[in-house]
Amino acid sequence: MGYYVSMHTKISTWYVHFGKRMIRFGLEEEMSIYCNQVGYLPEARKTAVMTEGEHFKVIKVQSNADEPVLEGTARDMGVDRASGDHVHIADFSEIKQDGVYCVQSETGEKSHPFRIGRDVYRALQRDMTKALYYQRCGCALEAKYAGEYTHPCCHTDDAVLWTDHSVVKEVKGGWHDAGDFGRYISPAAVAVAHLLYAYQLFPESFGESLNIPESGNGVPDVLNECRYELEWMLKMQDEEGGAYHKLTAQRHADFIMPEDDKDQFYLFPVSSMATADYAASMALASRVYRAYDGTFADRLFDAALKAWGWLEKYPQYVGFKNPESCNTGEYDDVCDLDERLWAAAEMLVTTGEQKYQERLTELLQEDLTKTDFGWTDVSGFAALAVLTDASHRADADSVENLRSAVLTEADRLVAVSEKSGYGVAMEPEDYVWGSNMVVLNRGMLLVLAAFITEKKEAYEQAALSQLHYLLGMNAVDYSYVTGHGEHAYMHPHNRPTECDGIELPMAGWVSGGPFKTPADPVGIERIKPGTPPMKCYVDHASCYSLNEITIYWNSPAVFVTAYFNRKQA
Ligand code: 9MR
Ligand code: ZN
């Protein structure tokens, strides 16, 4: 194992790399050049943001040639509202040759190095997908798949109903939702849907093995991994067809390894939101798995149908609120119409039956966004289902309705992105808890717009800008994906990562990212009032409102990168 030393930020931060491990020391001064630390595709627009100086050079890293590959003047963008920074944009799109480069400003400062190449996002997509394997609950993580991040089997005891402790159920399996050990239906449905659509639309991006227990069984590994979650979801349905809102303990566990958590887990009451998300994701999954395993596809479809039956029986909103004594995730929602819309769309695309078309038509009249892919607002999935359906099962009016919603929002996002000094499709008020999910869901919408239209380039470019932001072209100079980028964040709020005694977190985890009103004690203490939204971030393991990881923050990142990893892209 060799080591090398590199110096990147102003004069004072040194990085020593020992094989995989990197130790950073020295006084960290603020950077003033921000780039996508992972890299850029050869044909794409390539920019870096500078907050000092106007003139820049691009140089090849580790080459003896002192000659810059390019010199230029950065474009003055004025003050960026979300960061408060006065920024200049250095455009080096004309460099297309594979290699490792950095941008140097007139002050002599160098950016982090980045790569230009066709495959710059491949390992990123693989690690972000493999990350879900590390969330597997109810089984041991073995060294041959997990490397050093092993742990014995966790959470194997039966659960009981919250409302009646005498009812005992075996509900083992699934993925831990996040830095906590809970498992929740809406987040699960959404995460699986991001991944299944990514696979369905861009299958050629999923050829690589993830090295998981099922690898080599003839099924793409992304489907193998999702099946682990789906098998658990199949257990989360009650006799009437309703989906239990969540399976968690009463209180979040301390910072302990999963196998040491012996708390009783409870099945919390059915909600209409969870049941509609459940019907939708099960219907979608039944279509995707049909080609590989008809019996499994039938089980998924039966579960979807049963959940649909529940939705018909209970047409009114059935919400969920945490009981007072319970502090695990709530995932409450005040409106279930977007979830019902998504379910109608998936059932229609799966079966072609008229009754689902009627329900879809009815719900499309509601005042819904039709462009979101988060756990609260799933309406964008209805658009995704209908607009990418190769058998064109929805009627022309529904298609037009959804298509125009998608394109209107995509045009708005392109404009927001172009106005932002950092190229991100976010207004200052959009920096909520898990803002990176908003960034990535917007990236998904832009990808969908590119996928269904001729105005491809503008949408693609804006979608890529969201990845650039995530991977370091942002006002805090962090790559928000562990293990990817020279200055990737290091301290996710994730119990195993904090407790396993291993210095580096596993690679491929997307951080929740900046939150304009931090809600955890360390975040509140460290972030001064008045800090611009894009800078409300701390890389600290205690910051659950700024630096947690979740399955549904990784999954949209997989979707976006899979689009750019297509062979013909
Ligand atoms: O991602 C959720 C975010 O949108 C909410 O604002 C926040 C507070 O309700 O909860 C987040 O979800 C957390 C969940 O409740 C429990 N598991 C970890 C999730 C990420 O922080
Ligand atoms: Zn577990």
pLDDT per position as a tens digit, 192-235? 999 999 999 999 999 999 999 999 999 999 999 999 999 999 99
Whether pLDDT at 347 is above 50 = yes
Q: How confident is the model at residue 454 (pLDDT cuts 50, 70, 90)?
A: confident
Q: Is 437 in the pocket of ligand 1 (CB under 6 A)?
A: no
**Separation of alpha carbons 226 and 132, rounded Å:** 9
| Three-state SS sequence of 438-496 | HHHHHHHHHHHHHHHCCCHHHHHHHHHHHHHHHCCCCCCCCECECCCCCCECCCCECHH
> Residue 516: which residues within 8 A CB-CB, separation 6 or more?
428, 429, 431, 432, 533, 536
Q: Taking the mean position of all CA atoms in its chain, how far away is CA 499?
A: 24
Residue 26 pLDDT > 70: no
Q: How far is CA 311 from the centre of its chain?
A: 28
Please, what is the average pLDDT of the chain?
95
Terminal C-alpha separation, the chain: 36
Cβ neighbours, 10 Å, residue 141: 21
Q: Which two tokens stand for residue 414?
A: 């392109």
Q: Whose CA is nearest to atom 16 of ligand 1?
A: 329
Which residue from 177, 510, 542, 546 has its CB within 8 A of the most atoms of ligand 1, so it is best to mutate?
177
518: burial class by Cβ within 10 Å (0-12, 13-18, 19+)?
buried
- The pLDDT assigned to 231 comes to 99
* Sheet of 99-105, strand order: 39-40, 114-116, 99-105, 55-60, 70-73
Average pLDDT over every residue of 388-404: 98
pLDDT of res. 29: 59
Q: What separation in Å is there between the alpha carbon of 325 and the centre of ligand 1?
A: 18
Q: Is the CB of 190 under 6 A from ligand 1?
A: no
Query: Which of 373, 433, 555 to mutate to test ligand 1, by most ligand atoms within 8 A of the CB atom?
Result: 433
Q: What is residue 44's three-state secondary structure? A: coil
| CA 461 vs CA 408, 484, 517: distances in Å | 17, 21, 30
Q: Whose CA is nearest to atom 12 of ligand 1?
A: 329
Break the chain down into helix, strand, coil percent, rounded to 5. Answer: 40, 15, 45
Residues marked active site are found at 180, 493, 539, 548
Stretch 491-498: mean pLDDT, rounded? 97
Q: Which atom of ligand 1 is nearest to the CA of 374?
A: 4
177 C-beta closer than 6 A to ligand 1? yes
State how far the Cα of 514 lies from the Cα of 424, in Å rounded to an integer.
13
Q: Parallel, antiparallel, or unpaired for β 47-50 and 33-34?
A: antiparallel
pLDDT given at position 144: 98
Share of the chain above pLDDT 90, in %: 92
What's residue 369's pLDDT?
A: 96
What does each C-alpha distance from 145 to 16, 102, 140 come to in angstroms? 28, 35, 10
pLDDT score, position 568: 62
Ligand 1 proximity of 308 Cβ (cutoff 6 Å): no
The runs of H, that is alpha helices, within 290-369 are 294-313, 337-351, 354-364
Tokens coding 163: 């409302």
How far is the centre of ligand 1, averaged over its atoms, from the C-alpha of 547 (Å)? 11
Tell me, using a 6 A CB cutoff, whether residue 80 lines ligand 1: no
User: What is the reported pLDDT for 5?
Assistant: 43
Q: For atom 10 of ligand 1, which residue has the closest CA? A: 329
Using the mean position of ligand 2's atoms as its centre, give its distance from the Cα of residue 174 in Å.
Answer: 8
- Beta strands per DSSP E along 321-430: none
For the Cβ of 241 lying below 6 angstroms from any atom of ligand 1, the answer is: no
Ligand 2 ion: nearby residues, β-carbon < 5 Å: 137, 154-155, 258
133 Cα to the center of ligand 2, angstroms: 12
What is the structure's pLDDT at 31?
83
pLDDT band, very low/low/confident/very high, at 63 (cuts 50, 70, 90): confident
Work out the percent of the chain whose per-residue pLDDT is above 70.
94
Query: Residue 20: what pLDDT?
Result: 44
Q: What is the mean pLDDT of residues 479-501?
A: 97
Q: Using 50, 70 and 90 to split pLDDT, how confident is the model at 16?
A: low
What's the confidence (pLDDT) of residue 9?
A: 41
Q: What is the mean pLDDT of residues 38-64?
A: 94
Q: How far is the CA of 177 from the centre of ligand 2 (A)?
A: 10
